[in-house]
Amino acid sequence: MTNNLTTDMHSIAQDFSVRIRAATAAGQPLRLRGGGTKDWYGQSLQGEVFDTRAYAGIVAYEPTELVITARCGTPLAEIEALLAQHNQMLAFEPPRLGAESTIGGVVASALSGPRRASAGAVRDFVLGAVLMDGHGEALRFGGQVMKNVAGYDVSRLLAGSLGTLGLILEVSLKVLPVPVREASLCFEMSEIDALRRLNEWAGQPLPISASCWHRDVLSLRLSGAEAAVDAALRKLGGQALDDGPAFWAALRDQSHAYFSSGASDGALWRLSLPSAASAIILRGEQLIEWGGAQRWLRMDECDAAQAAGIRGAVAAAGGHATLFHGADKSVGVFHPLAPAVAKIHERLKQSFDPAGIFNPGRMY
């Protein structure tokens, strides 16, 4: 059964290679797509749809090594179900944006959930990857164990690349044990007070694994050993957050009311800032995560001048702004790159995809 599956997957990979080589020869753009749950993310969608879901399945999983390797089309739900059987998890908490979400899309988009500030980003958990480039060649980077770091930086570059460098065939990810205990608290306080307290707590040995400030309520999640969580509960005070697991799951999956309310033609901005940055006064409703490092801004409308104002204010505070959701992408989804950084992007793109066939225009 396993041998047959391996043969089938090898045949599918060969078909992928043939199609990519033909597209490169013809200059035919391809739109790499898994479950399509993040089609809205990024700039324009261009090219003939290249469905990756046929190349699926767990390649290897060693619970004692804390590593899982899976093919790009493997559903995220399947991976999380397997990890749950061994009381393990993807610690960066990728948003579950639909049942069709695949692990290839998880890595390509590099979206992380509430635990990102304490556990790390998607790229921090990528140990290795197999990438099919514009020549239809499968290139292997990194490995399946943390000690094997050959090509490590290259495999991490794929996180957040939105499929512009090539087709991620396989990915090896570090996993972590599920915390022994979790508890959630909430406090009534202003935005400025919440940012101050979060930065004070960040310098203390507290097991804070998630935070969220919204409408003058600061919520915290504590994760760790029984003794550590109990000690933090006694020190921090506050009130118990009703149904904490459901609250953090809604925040992770962006089904929280904040993400679904507002004008249909409005804009949702994701602001990335130093956690110590003070409150930024911008028109619109904010929700703050990651100890102050990720700040969401929802606006009913946003034109080019307003977008420039947002990016200017955020850049002045040492951060950058992404138009996460928005009807008008002409203002630019991603923060403009500095010229030197843009050159690095161009050289990487040229190296892996010289004909420019993979997801053209998706990022810049």
Structure confidence by residue, pLDDT tens digits, 60-92: 999 999 999 999 999 999 999 999 999 999 999
Asked whether residue 263 carries a pLDDT value surpassing 90, the answer given is no
User: CA 65 to CA 144: how far, in whole Å?
Assistant: 9
Query: What pLDDT sits at residue 143?
Result: 66
Domains 181-252 and 262-327 share a fold: yes
> Is residue 85 a contact partner of residue 116, using CB atoms and an 8 Å limit?
no
CATH 3.30.70 for domain 262-327, yes or no, is yes
Q: Tell the residue number behind the tokens 């767990």, with chain if given.
A: 58
Mean pLDDT value of segment 298-322: 92
Asked whether residue 332 carries a pLDDT value surpassing 80, the answer given is yes
Measure Cα distances from 317 to 79, 274, 281 in Å.
38, 8, 12
pLDDT in tens, 2-57: 567 777 999 999 999 999 999 999 999 999 999 999 999 999 899 999 999 999 99
pLDDT category at 144 given cuts 50, 70, 90 is low
pLDDT category at 148 given cuts 50, 70, 90 is very low
> Is residue 225 a contact partner of residue 181, using CB atoms and an 8 Å limit?
yes
Mean pLDDT value of segment 352-362: 95
Q: Which residues pair with 188 in a beta bridge?
A: 217
CATH class belonging to 181-252: alpha beta
Query: Domain locations in the chain?
Result: 2-177, 181-252, 262-327
Q: Which residues pair with 33 in a beta bridge?
A: 51
Query: What pLDDT sits at residue 97?
Result: 93
CATH 3.30.465.10 for domain 2-177, yes or no, is yes
The residue with greater pLDDT, 282 or 209, is: 209
pLDDT category at 58 given cuts 50, 70, 90 is very high
Q: Which residues pair with 217 in a beta bridge?
A: 188, 214
% residues pLDDT > 70 (the chain): 95
User: CA 171 to CA 217: how far, in whole Å?
Assistant: 38
pLDDT category at 153 given cuts 50, 70, 90 is confident
Mean pLDDT value of segment 138-160: 70
Backbone φ and ψ for 182, nearest 5 degrees, come out as -135, 145
Side chain identity, residue 252: R
Asked whether residue 265 carries a pLDDT value surpassing 90, the answer given is no
Mean pLDDT value of segment 248-273: 88
Cα R_g (the chain), whole angstroms: 21
The residue with greater pLDDT, 68 or 154, is: 68
Reduce the DSSP state of residue 149 to 3 states and report it: coil
Asked whether residue 198 carries a pLDDT value surpassing 80, the answer given is yes
167-174 β-sheet, strand order: 58-62, 67-71, 167-174, 126-132, 138-142
- Of the listed ranges 24-28, 125-129, 267-271, 278-282, the one predicted with least confidence: 278-282
Asked whether residue 157 carries a pLDDT value surpassing 80, the answer given is yes
User: CA 112 to CA 210: how far, in whole Å?
Assistant: 12
> Is residue 286 a contact partner of residue 258, using CB atoms and an 8 Å limit?
no
